[in-house]
Amino acid sequence: MTVDTDPMPPSGLDLRALVSRLARRTPTRTEADVQADVRDLLLHGGLNLAAEDLTVQLEAQVGDRRRIDVETGFTVIEVKKDLRAGTVLAEAVEQLAGYVAERTKRLNQRYVGVLTDGADWRCYHLRVDEELEEVAHHVVDPAQPDPDRLCVWLEAILATEAQIRPTPQEIDRRIGADSPGHALERAGLRDLWSLAREAPEARLKRRLWARLLTTAFGSQFADDD
C-alpha cells in the first residue's frame, strides 16, 4: 500500500500537474501562489489532512510579529518563491529557526521545520543549541513530477497516515534509513545522548553495550557514536 496520490483525486485536482507547477519556479508567480499550491498538495495528496488541520491564514501568527506560512501538527513550513536566488536560502533558514524555536519553547514539544520553493524541499531539526540542522532533502523534477514520492517524503515527516499495511516496502519508505522520519529520530536521539553522555550511569551502560556488541560482531563493530 502506498500513499493514495491518484493524479486525479475526488476533488478533481490533477496532482501531477500541481507538483509540476510547484517545481517549475515560474518567475511571474508569487509566494502566495506557492503557499496556495502547497496547501492543496497537503489537503489532496493522501496525507490524511483536512482543512481544519492546516493553519494557512495565509501565514499564521507566531509571536513577536513573525509569521508562519503553513503549519500542521508539529511541523511548520516556510515557503519561498525561489531558494536559489541570492541569500534567500540562508535568510529563510534563519527565519525558520526562529519559528521552530518559538513553537518548541511554547509547547514543550519537538517541532520540525520544512523549507520549500516547490522544487527544493528541505527538512530541518532543531538541535539542543537551537541551531537548525538540515536532516533530509528532496528535489522535484518539473519535467517528471512524482507526487507519490513527494507525498511519501512529506508523510514521513508529518506522520499523519493511519492503518498503513506494514509491508517491507512501506516500512522502508516511511522509516527506513534513507527516510526523513528516520533522520529526524536519529537527530533527536543524538541530542539526547549529547545531554546524557557524561553521566556516570550512562557511561557505564555504554561501555557494557560496547563490550557485548564487540563480542557479537568482532572487528566489524565500530565503538563510536
Domain count, the chain: 1
Contact between 37 and 75 under an 8 Å Cβ cutoff? The reply is no
Q: Is residue 71 in a domain? A: yes
Q: Is residue 223 in a domain? A: no
Across the chain, what does the average pLDDT equal? 86
Residue 2: predicted pLDDT: 46
pLDDT band at residue 67 using 50, 70 and 90 as cut-offs: low
Distance CA 91, CA 95 (A): 6
Q: Is residue 135 in a domain? A: yes
Q: Residue 115: give its domain's CATH number.
A: 3.90.1570
CA triple 70-151-60, angle to 5 deg:
5
C-alpha cell of 142?
518539473
Alpha-helix runs per DSSP H in 45-122: 88-107
Return all residues near 112 (Cβ < 8 A) that are at least 6 apart.
Answer: 74, 75, 76, 100, 123, 124, 125, 157, 184
Dihedral, 133, 97, 150, 71 alpha carbons, nearest 10: 150
Q: Is residue 158 in a domain? A: yes
Q: Is residue 222 in a domain? A: no
Per-residue pLDDT tens digits for 181-212:
999 999 999 998 888 888 999 889 888 988 88
C-alpha cell of 14?
490533477
Percent pLDDT > 90 in the chain is 50
Q: Is residue 49 in a domain? A: yes
Question: What is the pTM (predicted TM-score) of this model?
Answer: 0.82
Alpha-helix runs per DSSP H in the chain: 15-24, 31-44, 88-107, 147-158, 168-175, 180-196, 200-217
Q: How many beta carbons lie within 10 A of that of residue 148, not counting itself?
A: 20
Q: Is residue 31 in a domain? A: yes
Q: How many beta carbons lie within 10 A of that of residue 199, not counting itself?
A: 10
**Segment of 56-60, 67-71, 183-187 carrying the highest mean pLDDT:** 183-187
Residue 89: domain span: 15-199
Residue 7: predicted pLDDT: 55
Q: Is residue 5 in a domain? A: no
Residue 126: predicted pLDDT: 94
Q: How many CA atoms lie within 13 A of 129 on its CB side?
A: 5
Per-residue pLDDT tens digits for 72-130:
888 999 999 999 999 999 999 999 999 999 989 988 888 999 999 999 999 999 998 88
